[in-house]
Amino acid sequence: MNFAIHLALGCAMLLASFAASAQAQVVRIGVAMPISGPGSYFGVQDKEGIELALEQFKGGINGYKLQVQYEDSACSPLQATNTVKRLLDQFQPHIVIGEECSDASLAIAPILNDAKIVQLNVGSVTMKLTESGYKYTFRIFPNAEQQSLPLAKVAYNTLKARTAVILHEKTNAGNDNAEGFKKPFEAMGGKVLATIDFGRDVNDFTAIATRIASLGKVDVLPTFALEGQQVRLSQALAQAKVVKGGGGNGVQMGSIWLPFGYDQKAGQAAVGYVRIVQFDPTEKRKVVQDFIKAYQAKYGADKTPTHINAHAYDAILLIAEAVRRGAKDSESIREQFSKFKDVEVTTGRITFDQKGQNSDLSVVHFVETQQDLSWKGMSWQ
């Protein structure tokens, strides 16, 4: 009797362990990105980066394969909430990459944290994401303060600017970045002549440029908007002779939002534009050059990857690295992430601080657009 029971138990345990190990050979990655609507600007590029990275890890890591499921969160808190619930129900991911828009990222953070699933954010700017005590949320994208503070410092100390006009899109990200510039700049003694916000549906900036021209001497114009609007804005500012590119005196300043190739699109108007960049395709680091080669091989030799591609690509790199170090589910991924120090990716090195924010900005540097529309790296900081 005893023997039979032991045998049965033994077989059962053996079978169970087979089943468990057959299941555990996959690390499931949910991706909540805007695939429809205007937010698809991000979603399409994110997907490119993720797909490229997945190809490189096709063979698996430590016997674990990476499996991805995409859901359309459309940059809206309602849809993001629904799609994350859907992912949790149907896919049971170990980690979710999401979202791009700050509102949506903030909406899904509590759900993922309650479910004890890691949230890896690669595109939101809002400070609240890492200031709300979420233990499972990690972000590699620089937050508003990390982006705007260096701009304010360089504006005041290096460019000797004393007056500024801040231009930003009317979104969470735009607002936060604008605040992040305004506070330190004014604290240092600068004067913000105007803070001009505009919706994402504004196309013609001539009226805004005219208004700025009427404000008097403007030294710097920090701008926080997406490339489409920034091109029109730069051109209007040049036309109104407000910025250097048009023969004026003001220096346009910007953040990592603008992709490589922006200057070619904006033309002469972009001359003299000073901004910080994180992903720099001219960087000599092997990881960056390999990424560009792989990207061009897959998507076309005439295209250069943008920082959005790069961040999404890095997300997979980080997950793969965590798995390589022994992670296989949400808890172990979280543990590995919190221990990350100087993990190298295309957008720099990753060290997550206690709040889950990447605190390593060593790669971030200033560039200035030259007359021939190329970037010149500046060694300011």
Which region among 1-9, 20-28, 79-87, 274-282 touches another protein (by CB under 8 A)?
79-87
Which residue of 229, 252, 330, 336 would you call a contact of another protein, by CB under 8 A? Answer: 229
Q: Kindly state whether residue 249 participates in binding another protein, applying the rule CB under 8 A.
A: no
Half-sphere exposure of 284 (CA within 13 A, CB side): 1
Which residue of 231, 258, 271, 364 would you call a contact of another protein, by CB under 8 A? Answer: 231
Q: Kindly state whether residue 234 participates in binding another protein, applying the rule CB under 8 A.
A: no
Residue number, 17 or 90, with CB nearest to another protein? 90
CA distance 192 to 74: 34
Residue number, 82 or 370, with CB nearest to another protein? 82
Task: State in angstroms the smallest separation of the CB of 106 from another protein.
Answer: 6
Task: State in angstroms the smallest separation of the CB of 140 from another protein.
Answer: 22
CA-CA distances (angstroms) from residue 318 to 139, 237, 240, 304, 337?
11, 40, 45, 22, 8
Residue number, 63 or 199, with CB nearest to another protein? 199
Q: Kindly state whether residue 192 participates in binding another protein, applying the rule CB under 8 A.
A: no
Q: Please state, as a whole number, how many other Cβ atoms lie within 10 Å of the Cβ of residue 381.
A: 13
Site track for another protein across 149-188, x = CB under 8 A = ---------------------xxx--x-------------
Q: Is 372 helix (H, G, I), strand (E, B) or coil?
A: coil
Cβ atoms of 292 and 305 within 8 Å: the answer is: yes
Q: Kindly state whether residue 81 participates in binding another protein, applying the rule CB under 8 A.
A: yes
- DSSP code string of 33-72: E--SSTTHHHHHHHHHHHHHHHHHTTT-BTTBEEEEEEEE
Q: How many residues bind to another protein according to rule CB under 8 A?
A: 58
Which residue of 56, 67, 239, 296 would you call a contact of another protein, by CB under 8 A? Answer: 239
Q: Is 120 helix (H, G, I), strand (E, B) or coil?
A: strand
Closest to 29 in 3D by CA, of 64, 73, 70, 76: 70
Closest to 52 in 3D by CA, of 289, 333, 312: 312
Residue number, 209 or 277, with CB nearest to another protein? 209
Distance of CA 183 to the CA centre of its chain: 23
Residue number, 172 or 336, with CB nearest to another protein? 172
Within 261-320, the residues that bind another protein by CB under 8 A are: 265, 267
197 Cβ contact partners less than 8 Å away, ≥ 6 residues apart = 167, 168, 169, 170, 174, 175, 178
Cβ atoms of 257 and 278 within 8 Å: the answer is: no
Residues at the contact surface with another protein, assessed by CB under 8 A: 35-38, 40-41, 43-45, 70-72, 76-78, 81-83, 85-86, 88-90, 103, 106-107, 110-111, 128, 170-172, 175, 196-199, 201-204, 206-208, 210-211, 214, 227-229, 231-232, 235, 239-241, 265, 267
